[in-house]
Amino acid sequence: MTYYSGKDGSMSLVAANGTETLIAKVSSWSLSAQVDVLETTVLNEHDRNFVPGLRTMTGSATIFYYKDPSTGANAPVPLLTHMLKTTPVNETDDIFKIELAWADKHVTGNIIITSAELSLAVGEVMQASIQFQFTGAPTALAL
């Protein structure tokens, strides 16, 4: 029997040409999917009836904030700049593709970062937490 753990996981940005780049040092990520229910109950029925409606997929990630020795850049600044910036939100530049993976499984899709938070505490490594929402259906899926 095979079990999966954090050592099997990753989170990557997927470029337009399909190239995947690992997102800094992710300590955790999560994915959630919900489906709205639409009521179809009519008069003279004794039980409520429903059909599935729209699906929403959301997620979150916690990323260590550190200076990459190979580039000298503060990771995960490229990801955070989609939310924490001095310019207005852009309808096209602020939607990008990610892949959440574990072992040979993955969920890939286009997301919008809906919130970002930086946290720093005595005795802990500085972290950035992001929340995101998928726009549209996943573009690739292997469960």
Per-residue pLDDT of the chain (143 residues; tens, 9 = 90+): 888 888 888 888 887 788 888 777 888 999 999 999 999 999 999 999 999 999 999 999 998 888 878 777 776 776 777 777 788 877 766 788 899 999 999 999 999 988 889 899 999 888 989 999 999 999 999 99
* C-beta of residue 108 within 8 angstroms of C-beta of residue 139: yes
* C-beta of residue 66 within 8 angstroms of C-beta of residue 75: yes
Q: What pLDDT score does 87 carry?
A: 81
Using CA of residue 66, residue 72, residue 74, residue 76, what is the dihedral sign? negative
Closest CA to 133 of 64, 28, 16, 30: 30
Query: Tokens in use for 35?
Result: 């489906």
Q: What pLDDT score does 15 carry?
A: 78
pTM value?
Answer: 0.84
d(CA 116, CA 128): 7
Q: What pLDDT score does 70 carry?
A: 78
Q: What pLDDT score does 79 carry?
A: 73
DSSP string across the chain: -----GGGEEEEEE-TTS-EEE-SEEEEEEEEEEEEEEE---TT-SS--EEEEEEEEEEEEEEE-EE-TTT--EETHHHHTTTS-SSPP-TTTTEEEEEEEETTEEEEEEEEEEEEEEE--TTS--EEEEEEEE-SS-SEEE-
Query: Tokens in use for 58?
Result: 């959301």
Q: What pLDDT score does 44 carry?
A: 96
Closest CA to 115 of 128, 127, 131: 131
